[in-house]
Chains A and B, each alone.
Chain A
Amino acid sequence: MSKWTNSDGSLNLDALDALEANVRAVTDSNAAIDAVIKGAKIGVPTIVAFRCNHSSLYFPADYVREWGRSYGHGLGPDPVSEVLDSDYHTDPPKVTEDTMDINSIMHPLVTTRVQVDLMNVTQEEFDANQAIIAIDDPRMMKRAAICRAKQMENKMGGRLRSLQANYLVMVGARFGGKVVA
Protein backbone atom coordinates (compact mmCIF):
# COMPACT_ATOMS: atom_id res chain seq x y z
CA MET A 1 0.00 0.00 0.00
CA SER A 2 1.25 3.53 -0.84
CA LYS A 3 -0.02 6.98 0.07
CA TRP A 4 -2.12 6.83 -3.10
CA THR A 5 -4.15 3.76 -2.12
CA ASN A 6 -6.40 2.93 0.82
CA SER A 7 -6.16 -0.27 2.84
CA ASP A 8 -8.87 -1.84 0.67
CA GLY A 9 -6.84 -1.19 -2.46
CA SER A 10 -8.98 1.69 -3.75
CA LEU A 11 -7.41 5.00 -4.73
CA ASN A 12 -6.95 7.62 -1.98
CA LEU A 13 -8.87 10.46 -3.59
CA ASP A 14 -7.92 13.06 -0.96
CA ALA A 15 -4.22 12.45 -1.58
CA LEU A 16 -4.80 12.58 -5.33
CA ASP A 17 -6.72 15.87 -5.02
CA ALA A 18 -3.77 17.39 -3.17
CA LEU A 19 -1.45 15.99 -5.83
CA GLU A 20 -3.56 17.50 -8.59
CA ALA A 21 -3.47 20.92 -6.91
CA ASN A 22 0.31 20.74 -6.73
CA VAL A 23 0.67 19.68 -10.36
CA ARG A 24 -1.84 22.25 -11.62
CA ALA A 25 0.43 24.96 -10.19
CA VAL A 26 2.85 24.25 -13.04
CA THR A 27 1.03 22.45 -15.85
CA ASP A 28 -2.38 21.49 -17.25
CA SER A 29 -0.95 18.15 -18.38
CA ASN A 30 -2.20 15.05 -16.55
CA ALA A 31 0.92 13.01 -17.38
CA ALA A 32 2.45 13.23 -13.89
CA ILE A 33 -0.84 12.33 -12.19
CA ASP A 34 -1.47 9.47 -14.61
CA ALA A 35 1.99 8.09 -13.88
CA VAL A 36 1.28 8.16 -10.14
CA ILE A 37 -2.06 6.34 -10.56
CA LYS A 38 -0.59 3.80 -12.96
CA GLY A 39 2.32 3.12 -10.60
CA ALA A 40 -0.03 2.68 -7.63
CA LYS A 41 -2.14 0.15 -9.56
CA ILE A 42 0.79 -2.01 -10.65
CA GLY A 43 2.49 -1.89 -7.26
CA VAL A 44 5.36 0.44 -8.22
CA PRO A 45 4.29 3.64 -6.45
CA THR A 46 5.88 6.94 -7.38
CA ILE A 47 5.47 10.46 -6.08
CA VAL A 48 5.72 13.86 -7.71
CA ALA A 49 8.69 16.05 -6.80
CA PHE A 50 10.62 18.99 -8.18
CA ARG A 51 14.26 18.43 -9.08
CA CYS A 52 16.95 21.10 -8.85
CA ASN A 53 18.73 21.22 -12.20
CA HIS A 54 22.06 22.04 -10.57
CA SER A 55 22.27 19.55 -7.74
CA SER A 56 19.64 16.93 -8.78
CA LEU A 57 18.24 17.19 -5.25
CA TYR A 58 14.47 16.96 -4.83
CA PHE A 59 11.95 19.40 -3.42
CA PRO A 60 8.46 18.39 -2.21
CA ALA A 61 5.48 18.32 -4.58
CA ASP A 62 4.07 21.60 -3.22
CA TYR A 63 7.30 23.49 -3.96
CA VAL A 64 5.80 25.69 -6.67
CA ARG A 65 2.33 26.00 -5.14
CA GLU A 66 3.80 27.12 -1.80
CA TRP A 67 6.47 29.36 -3.35
CA GLY A 68 6.98 32.40 -1.13
CA ARG A 69 5.22 30.71 1.78
CA SER A 70 7.22 27.62 2.68
CA TYR A 71 9.97 28.01 0.10
CA GLY A 72 12.16 30.53 -1.67
CA HIS A 73 11.84 33.61 0.51
CA GLY A 74 13.38 36.62 -1.19
CA LEU A 75 14.18 34.79 -4.43
CA GLY A 76 11.63 36.61 -6.57
CA PRO A 77 8.12 35.79 -7.81
CA ASP A 78 9.13 32.90 -10.10
CA PRO A 79 10.07 29.57 -8.48
CA VAL A 80 13.73 28.56 -8.72
CA SER A 81 15.95 26.24 -6.75
CA GLU A 82 16.95 27.45 -3.29
CA VAL A 83 19.80 24.93 -3.06
CA LEU A 84 23.16 26.38 -1.98
CA ASP A 85 26.36 25.96 -3.96
CA SER A 86 30.00 26.90 -3.33
CA ASP A 87 31.57 29.86 -5.12
CA TYR A 88 35.12 28.60 -5.63
CA HIS A 89 36.04 31.72 -7.58
CA THR A 90 35.77 33.90 -4.49
CA ASP A 91 38.48 33.42 -1.89
CA PRO A 92 37.48 32.27 1.59
CA PRO A 93 37.59 34.94 4.31
CA LYS A 94 41.03 35.66 5.73
CA VAL A 95 42.12 33.76 8.79
CA THR A 96 42.89 36.27 11.52
CA GLU A 97 43.66 36.25 15.21
CA ASP A 98 39.93 36.72 15.76
CA THR A 99 39.02 33.53 13.92
CA MET A 100 37.67 31.34 16.67
CA ASP A 101 36.56 28.37 14.59
CA ILE A 102 38.11 27.07 11.39
CA ASN A 103 34.65 25.90 10.33
CA SER A 104 33.67 29.54 9.82
CA ILE A 105 36.24 29.75 7.01
CA MET A 106 35.12 28.40 3.65
CA HIS A 107 34.39 29.50 0.11
CA PRO A 108 31.19 31.55 0.21
CA LEU A 109 27.86 29.90 -0.43
CA VAL A 110 25.49 31.14 -3.09
CA THR A 111 21.87 30.35 -3.81
CA THR A 112 21.88 28.55 -7.17
CA ARG A 113 18.50 29.89 -8.39
CA VAL A 114 18.40 27.40 -11.26
CA GLN A 115 15.32 25.89 -12.88
CA VAL A 116 13.34 23.17 -11.09
CA ASP A 117 11.55 20.42 -13.04
CA LEU A 118 8.49 18.34 -12.21
CA MET A 119 9.45 14.65 -11.90
CA ASN A 120 7.94 11.29 -10.99
CA VAL A 121 10.27 9.49 -8.59
CA THR A 122 10.04 6.67 -6.09
CA GLN A 123 9.68 7.55 -2.42
CA GLU A 124 13.03 5.89 -1.71
CA GLU A 125 14.83 7.98 -4.32
CA PHE A 126 13.20 11.14 -3.01
CA ASP A 127 14.16 10.39 0.58
CA ALA A 128 17.75 9.66 -0.40
CA ASN A 129 18.15 12.90 -2.36
CA GLN A 130 15.85 15.37 -0.63
CA ALA A 131 17.14 18.94 -0.42
CA ILE A 132 17.31 20.58 3.00
CA ILE A 133 14.62 23.24 2.94
CA ALA A 134 15.76 26.76 3.86
CA ILE A 135 13.01 27.30 6.44
CA ASP A 136 14.13 24.10 8.18
CA ASP A 137 17.71 25.39 8.33
CA PRO A 138 17.40 29.19 8.59
CA ARG A 139 20.94 29.75 9.85
CA MET A 140 22.42 27.28 7.33
CA MET A 141 24.07 25.19 10.03
CA LYS A 142 23.22 21.87 8.35
CA ARG A 143 23.75 23.01 4.78
CA ALA A 144 27.01 24.85 5.50
CA ALA A 145 28.48 21.75 7.12
CA ILE A 146 27.64 19.67 4.03
CA CYS A 147 29.03 22.29 1.64
CA ARG A 148 32.20 22.75 3.65
CA ALA A 149 32.91 19.02 3.60
CA LYS A 150 32.45 19.09 -0.18
CA GLN A 151 34.80 22.06 -0.50
CA MET A 152 37.51 20.22 1.42
CA GLU A 153 37.20 17.30 -1.00
CA ASN A 154 36.87 19.33 -4.20
CA LYS A 155 39.99 19.82 -6.31
CA MET A 156 39.17 23.54 -6.42
CA GLY A 157 39.29 23.66 -2.63
CA GLY A 158 43.08 23.77 -2.35
CA ARG A 159 42.99 27.34 -1.06
CA LEU A 160 40.65 26.28 1.74
CA ARG A 161 42.85 23.33 2.68
CA SER A 162 45.92 25.56 2.92
CA LEU A 163 43.99 28.04 5.07
CA GLN A 164 43.06 25.22 7.40
CA ALA A 165 46.72 24.28 7.67
CA ASN A 166 47.62 27.91 8.41
CA TYR A 167 44.93 28.06 11.05
CA LEU A 168 46.26 24.99 12.78
CA VAL A 169 49.74 26.51 12.82
CA MET A 170 48.33 29.78 14.21
CA VAL A 171 46.37 28.02 16.92
CA GLY A 172 49.43 26.03 17.80
CA ALA A 173 51.48 29.23 18.07
CA ARG A 174 48.76 30.91 20.12
CA PHE A 175 48.85 28.18 22.74
CA GLY A 176 52.59 27.67 22.51
CA GLY A 177 52.27 24.05 21.59
CA LYS A 178 53.12 21.85 18.67
CA VAL A 179 50.56 21.31 15.96
CA VAL A 180 49.45 17.80 15.24
CA ALA A 181 47.12 17.93 12.24
Chain B
Amino acid sequence: MQPIIIEDNISVAATTDVPDVISANSSLLRLRRLPYPCAVKLVAVVSAVNLRIAFDIGSQNFVDISDPRVGTDLQDPQDLISDEMYGNGGDILSLRAINLTGGALSLRYRIVALALADLGQTEMPPATRVIQRQVSIANNTVDADQFPNLRYERPQTDSIVQLFGTASAAGLTRQVYVETTQAAPSSAIAPLNRMPQDPFDSLVDGVQVPKGKKISLLFSNSSGGALTAFWKAKFREMV
Protein backbone atom coordinates (compact mmCIF):
# COMPACT_ATOMS: atom_id res chain seq x y z
CA MET B 1 0.00 0.00 0.00
CA GLN B 2 1.16 3.53 -0.70
CA PRO B 3 2.25 5.62 2.27
CA ILE B 4 0.10 8.54 3.37
CA ILE B 5 2.18 11.71 3.32
CA ILE B 6 0.89 14.95 4.77
CA GLU B 7 3.24 17.89 4.38
CA ASP B 8 2.56 21.57 4.83
CA ASN B 9 4.06 24.91 5.77
CA ILE B 10 1.49 26.90 7.70
CA SER B 11 1.58 30.19 9.55
CA VAL B 12 0.18 30.33 13.07
CA ALA B 13 -1.20 33.65 14.27
CA ALA B 14 0.34 35.41 17.27
CA THR B 15 -0.69 34.17 20.73
CA THR B 16 -2.91 31.49 19.23
CA ASP B 17 -3.62 27.85 20.03
CA VAL B 18 -4.61 25.97 16.86
CA PRO B 19 -6.04 22.62 17.97
CA ASP B 20 -5.95 21.02 14.52
CA VAL B 21 -3.35 22.34 12.11
CA ILE B 22 -3.99 19.68 9.45
CA SER B 23 -7.60 20.77 9.05
CA ALA B 24 -6.50 24.36 8.52
CA ASN B 25 -5.46 23.25 5.01
CA SER B 26 -8.63 22.02 3.33
CA SER B 27 -6.72 19.98 0.75
CA LEU B 28 -5.31 17.81 3.55
CA LEU B 29 -8.62 17.15 5.28
CA ARG B 30 -9.27 13.84 3.53
CA LEU B 31 -5.90 12.49 4.67
CA ARG B 32 -6.48 13.00 8.37
CA ARG B 33 -8.14 9.63 8.99
CA LEU B 34 -5.93 6.53 8.85
CA PRO B 35 -7.44 4.00 6.39
CA TYR B 36 -5.72 1.01 8.00
CA PRO B 37 -3.39 0.31 10.97
CA CYS B 38 -0.29 2.45 10.44
CA ALA B 39 3.08 3.37 11.84
CA VAL B 40 3.27 7.15 11.89
CA LYS B 41 6.27 9.47 11.72
CA LEU B 42 6.29 13.21 12.49
CA VAL B 43 9.02 15.64 11.40
CA ALA B 44 8.70 19.35 12.16
CA VAL B 45 10.56 22.66 12.33
CA VAL B 46 9.43 26.12 13.40
CA SER B 47 10.57 29.50 12.09
CA ALA B 48 11.45 30.90 15.53
CA VAL B 49 11.33 29.83 19.16
CA ASN B 50 8.16 29.56 21.24
CA LEU B 51 5.97 27.82 18.69
CA ARG B 52 5.07 24.47 20.25
CA ILE B 53 3.34 21.39 18.93
CA ALA B 54 1.52 18.32 20.22
CA PHE B 55 0.35 15.28 18.28
CA ASP B 56 -2.46 12.81 18.87
CA ILE B 57 -3.60 9.74 16.96
CA GLY B 58 -7.20 8.96 17.71
CA SER B 59 -7.66 9.56 21.42
CA GLN B 60 -4.04 8.80 22.27
CA ASN B 61 -1.40 11.42 22.82
CA PHE B 62 1.98 10.55 21.35
CA VAL B 63 3.79 13.89 21.46
CA ASP B 64 3.16 16.11 24.45
CA ILE B 65 3.61 19.86 24.03
CA SER B 66 7.07 20.15 22.52
CA ASP B 67 9.50 22.62 20.96
CA PRO B 68 10.71 21.64 17.46
CA ARG B 69 14.04 22.85 16.06
CA VAL B 70 14.24 26.39 14.70
CA GLY B 71 14.73 26.21 10.96
CA THR B 72 13.11 26.74 7.59
CA ASP B 73 13.95 23.43 5.96
CA LEU B 74 12.79 20.00 7.06
CA GLN B 75 15.66 17.62 7.56
CA ASP B 76 14.83 14.01 8.23
CA PRO B 77 16.00 12.49 10.58
CA GLN B 78 17.54 15.63 12.15
CA ASP B 79 14.12 17.14 12.81
CA LEU B 80 12.37 13.92 13.66
CA ILE B 81 9.98 14.32 16.55
CA SER B 82 8.92 10.67 16.66
CA ASP B 83 8.70 7.68 14.33
CA GLU B 84 7.32 5.18 16.82
CA MET B 85 3.65 6.15 16.83
CA TYR B 86 0.89 3.77 15.83
CA GLY B 87 -2.77 4.11 15.01
CA ASN B 88 -5.67 1.88 14.02
CA GLY B 89 -7.74 2.23 10.89
CA GLY B 90 -10.19 5.09 11.38
CA ASP B 91 -8.06 7.02 13.86
CA ILE B 92 -7.78 10.74 13.20
CA LEU B 93 -4.39 12.46 13.13
CA SER B 94 -4.40 15.65 15.13
CA LEU B 95 -1.52 18.11 15.18
CA ARG B 96 -1.83 21.03 17.59
CA ALA B 97 0.24 24.25 17.38
CA ILE B 98 0.60 26.83 20.12
CA ASN B 99 2.20 30.19 19.32
CA LEU B 100 3.33 31.87 22.53
CA THR B 101 4.79 34.94 20.83
CA GLY B 102 3.44 38.29 19.70
CA GLY B 103 4.23 37.58 16.03
CA ALA B 104 2.95 35.04 13.53
CA LEU B 105 5.34 32.10 13.09
CA SER B 106 5.42 29.28 10.60
CA LEU B 107 5.32 25.56 11.25
CA ARG B 108 6.67 23.22 8.61
CA TYR B 109 5.75 19.60 9.17
CA ARG B 110 5.61 16.22 7.50
CA ILE B 111 3.56 13.27 8.66
CA VAL B 112 4.20 9.91 7.04
CA ALA B 113 1.94 6.92 7.76
CA LEU B 114 3.02 3.48 6.59
CA ALA B 115 0.74 0.46 6.66
CA LEU B 116 1.77 -1.89 9.43
CA ALA B 117 1.09 -4.79 7.09
CA ASP B 118 3.74 -3.46 4.73
CA LEU B 119 6.19 -3.35 7.61
CA GLY B 120 5.58 -7.02 8.31
CA GLN B 121 3.74 -6.30 11.56
CA THR B 122 0.60 -8.18 12.44
CA GLU B 123 0.14 -6.69 15.92
CA MET B 124 0.26 -3.11 17.14
CA PRO B 125 3.81 -2.46 18.47
CA PRO B 126 4.23 -0.80 21.89
CA ALA B 127 3.71 2.94 21.69
CA THR B 128 6.41 5.52 22.38
CA ARG B 129 5.45 8.88 23.89
CA VAL B 130 7.70 11.86 23.27
CA ILE B 131 8.24 15.27 24.76
CA GLN B 132 10.99 17.74 23.91
CA ARG B 133 11.52 21.14 25.41
CA GLN B 134 13.92 24.02 25.72
CA VAL B 135 14.10 25.63 29.15
CA SER B 136 16.19 28.36 30.69
CA ILE B 137 18.24 27.27 33.71
CA ALA B 138 19.27 30.18 35.93
CA ASN B 139 22.89 30.57 37.02
CA ASN B 140 23.93 28.60 40.11
CA THR B 141 20.84 26.40 39.87
CA VAL B 142 21.10 23.00 41.54
CA ASP B 143 18.93 20.09 40.44
CA ALA B 144 16.10 21.83 38.58
CA ASP B 145 13.59 19.05 37.80
CA GLN B 146 12.12 19.18 34.29
CA PHE B 147 9.13 16.88 34.62
CA PRO B 148 6.87 18.39 37.28
CA ASN B 149 3.42 19.18 35.92
CA LEU B 150 4.16 17.51 32.59
CA ARG B 151 1.97 14.74 31.27
CA TYR B 152 4.59 12.02 31.57
CA GLU B 153 6.04 12.89 34.96
CA ARG B 154 4.51 9.60 36.14
CA PRO B 155 4.05 7.30 33.12
CA GLN B 156 0.72 5.51 32.99
CA THR B 157 2.37 2.28 31.84
CA ASP B 158 5.64 0.54 32.67
CA SER B 159 8.12 2.31 30.43
CA ILE B 160 11.68 2.28 29.18
CA VAL B 161 12.88 5.86 29.05
CA GLN B 162 15.51 7.30 26.75
CA LEU B 163 16.72 10.87 27.32
CA PHE B 164 18.52 13.22 24.94
CA GLY B 165 19.92 16.66 25.67
CA THR B 166 22.21 19.52 24.74
CA ALA B 167 23.11 22.80 26.44
CA SER B 168 23.31 26.29 24.93
CA ALA B 169 26.86 26.71 26.34
CA ALA B 170 29.23 24.92 28.68
CA GLY B 171 28.34 24.62 32.36
CA LEU B 172 25.24 22.42 32.45
CA THR B 173 25.12 18.98 34.08
CA ARG B 174 22.34 16.43 34.41
CA GLN B 175 21.35 13.51 36.57
CA VAL B 176 18.35 11.19 36.45
CA TYR B 177 16.32 9.71 39.26
CA VAL B 178 13.43 7.25 39.31
CA GLU B 179 11.65 8.00 42.58
CA THR B 180 14.64 8.00 44.99
CA THR B 181 16.90 5.74 42.93
CA GLN B 182 19.68 7.45 41.03
CA ALA B 183 19.55 6.07 37.50
CA ALA B 184 22.35 8.27 36.12
CA PRO B 185 24.85 10.30 38.16
CA SER B 186 25.76 13.89 37.42
CA SER B 187 27.48 14.38 34.08
CA ALA B 188 28.20 17.29 31.72
CA ILE B 189 25.97 18.00 28.70
CA ALA B 190 27.45 18.85 25.30
CA PRO B 191 27.12 22.59 24.51
CA LEU B 192 25.64 22.14 21.03
CA ASN B 193 22.93 24.79 21.46
CA ARG B 194 20.29 22.92 19.45
CA MET B 195 17.36 20.59 19.86
CA PRO B 196 18.78 17.15 20.64
CA GLN B 197 19.01 14.70 17.79
CA ASP B 198 18.26 11.02 18.07
CA PRO B 199 20.61 9.13 18.40
CA PHE B 200 23.55 11.58 18.45
CA ASP B 201 22.67 13.52 21.60
CA SER B 202 21.64 10.63 23.81
CA LEU B 203 22.09 11.30 27.53
CA VAL B 204 20.65 8.19 29.13
CA ASP B 205 19.12 5.04 27.69
CA GLY B 206 17.27 2.07 29.12
CA VAL B 207 15.95 3.65 32.31
CA GLN B 208 13.06 1.54 33.60
CA VAL B 209 10.20 3.53 35.06
CA PRO B 210 7.39 1.43 36.59
CA LYS B 211 3.81 2.59 36.08
CA GLY B 212 2.97 5.58 38.25
CA LYS B 213 6.52 6.12 39.49
CA LYS B 214 8.09 9.54 39.22
CA ILE B 215 11.01 10.21 36.89
CA SER B 216 13.23 13.22 37.54
CA LEU B 217 15.58 14.82 35.02
CA LEU B 218 17.66 17.25 37.07
CA PHE B 219 19.74 20.04 35.53
CA SER B 220 22.39 22.01 37.40
CA ASN B 221 24.00 25.18 36.08
CA SER B 222 27.39 25.94 37.61
CA SER B 223 28.14 28.88 35.29
CA GLY B 224 27.75 32.56 36.02
CA GLY B 225 24.87 33.13 33.61
CA ALA B 226 21.59 31.52 32.65
CA LEU B 227 21.86 28.67 30.16
CA THR B 228 19.26 26.97 28.02
CA ALA B 229 18.80 23.23 28.29
CA PHE B 230 17.36 21.38 25.29
CA TRP B 231 16.02 17.96 26.15
CA LYS B 232 13.93 15.18 24.73
CA ALA B 233 12.39 12.19 26.49
CA LYS B 234 11.04 9.01 24.87
CA PHE B 235 8.81 6.76 26.93
CA ARG B 236 8.56 3.34 25.29
CA GLU B 237 5.83 1.14 26.73
CA MET B 238 7.06 -2.17 28.11
CA VAL B 239 5.16 -5.22 26.95
Contacts and interface: CB of A to CB of B under 8 A. Distances in A.
B230 A74 contact: yes
A74 B13 contact: no
B1 to A, nearest CB: 32
A73 B48 contact: no
Nearest to B103: A144
A91 B11 contact: yes
A82 B63 CA distance: 28
A54 to B, nearest CB: 13
Interface in B182-202: 191-195
B47 A77 contact: no
A75 B192 CA distance: 9
A87 B47 contact: yes
Interface in A104-128: 104-111
A140 B103 contact: yes
Contacts of A103: 14
A93 interface: yes
B115 interface: no
Contacts of B16: 93, 104
Given A68-B169, A75-B70, A109-B48, A139 B13 contact: no
Classify the interface of chain B: helix, strand, loop or mixed.
loop
Interface in A53-92: 66-70, 72-77, 84, 87, 90-92
B220 to A, nearest CB: 16
B192 A139 contact: no
A108 B194 contact: no
A180 interface: no
Nearest to A160: B104
Interface residues of B, number: 40
Contacts of A143: 103
Interface string B206-239: 0000000000000000010111101000000000
Contacts of B69: 74
10 contacts: A68-B193, A74-B69, A76-B192, A77-B194, A87-B72, A90-B11, A92-B13, A134-B49, A141-B101, A144-B104
A154 to B, nearest CB: 15
B146 to A, nearest CB: 16
Interface size class of A (residues with CB under 8 A): 35 or more
Contacts of B134: 73-74
Given A69-B168, A69-B226, A76-B194, A139 B11 contact: no
A145 B102 contact: yes
Given A74-B195, A104-B13, A104-B16, 17 more contacts: A66-B225, A67-B193, A68-B227, A74-B69, A74-B168, A77-B191, A77-B193, A93-B12, A105-B13, A105-B104, A108-B12, A109-B105, A111-B70, A139-B50, A140-B50, A144-B101, A147-B103
A91 B34 CA distance: 28
Interface string B145-188: 00000000000000000000001110000000000000000000
Interface in B1-19: 9-16
B14 A106 contact: yes
Smallest CB-CB A-B distances: 7 pairs: A144-B103, A68-B169, A108-B106, A68-B168, A104-B14, A93-B13, A141-B102
